[in-house]
């Protein structure tokens, strides 16, 4: 069984408060995995530890069958909290700038703009985008370079209902 991500007893403590308590995950290639919990439950903190944005106080992280390192993290696309955008650039220009970092190309940018439904934004600057448009552009940036693992924190935040998943009551 090939796992893209494994954690063992991943822990983060701030002062006297344990915000992530011995989290163990085994996520296989192709899996869709979601965290559900109250605000402050440690969901974002866990994602930040996996991405190297903060360091764990305990536990282990394994990516793609190896102990975590920066080369493994280069295979991850992510969107944590609000996307960091160049507000004076268009959607295309933002993706082009980020593609230089993530190994994308012109072909990727056009495909990604279609996927996130931002092909018709033209010369409109990201600073003029609605919350949903900024969120979709952030997801587009996370898709650059065709990552092997995608980590999205509250990905439907601000999206119009046509982009949100719908669940029927049963």
Q: What is the pLDDT of residues 28-40, one digit of tens each?
A: 998 988 888 888 8
Which two tokens mark 149?
Answer: 């693992």
3-state secondary structure of 58: strand
pLDDT of residue 124: 94
> 154 pLDDT band (50/70/90 cuts)?
confident
Question: In this model, does residue 101 exceed pLDDT 90?
Answer: no
pLDDT of residue 68: 84
User: Are the C-beta atoms of residues 89 and 98 closer than 8 Å to each other?
Assistant: no
pLDDT of residue 167: 45
Burial class (CB in 10 A: 0-12, 13-18, 19+), 137: buried
Topology of the domain covering 80-161: Rossmann fold (3.40.50)
pLDDT of residue 83: 86
| Sequence-distant contacts of 51-55: CB under 8 A, at least 24 apart | 51/76, 51/78, 51/80, 51/151, 53/80, 54/12
pLDDT of residue 7: 96
Task: Please give the CATH number for the structural domain made up of 1-68.
Answer: 3.40.50.300
Question: In this model, does residue 123 exceed pLDDT 50?
Answer: yes
Greatest mean pLDDT range, 10-14, 65-69, 72-76, 158-162: 10-14
Give start-end residues of each CATH 3.40.50.300 domain in the chain. 1-68, 80-161
Q: What is the pTM of this model?
A: 0.84
């Amino acid at each position: 069984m090939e796992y893209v991500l494994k954690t063992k007893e991943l822990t983060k403590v701030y002062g006297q408060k344990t915000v992530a308590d011995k989290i163990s995950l085994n996520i296989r290639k192709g899996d869709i995995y979601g965290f559900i919990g109250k605000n402050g439950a440690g969901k974002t903190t866990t994602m930040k530890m996996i991405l190297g944005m903060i360091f764990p106080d305990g536990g282990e992280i394994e990516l793609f069958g190896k102990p975590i390192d920066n080369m493994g993290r280069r295979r991850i696309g992510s969107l944590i909290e609000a996307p960091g955008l160049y507000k004076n650039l268009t959607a295309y220009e933002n993706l082009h700038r980020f593609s230089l970092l993530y190994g994308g190309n012109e072909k990727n940018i056009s495909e990604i703009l279609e996927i996130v439904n931002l092909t018709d934004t033209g010369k409109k600057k990201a600073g003029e985008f609605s919350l949903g448009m900024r969120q979709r552009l952030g997801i587009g940036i996370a898709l650059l370079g065709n990552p092997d693992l995608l980590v999205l924190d509250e990905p439907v935040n601000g999206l119009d209902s046509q982009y949100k998943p719908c669940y029927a009551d049963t």
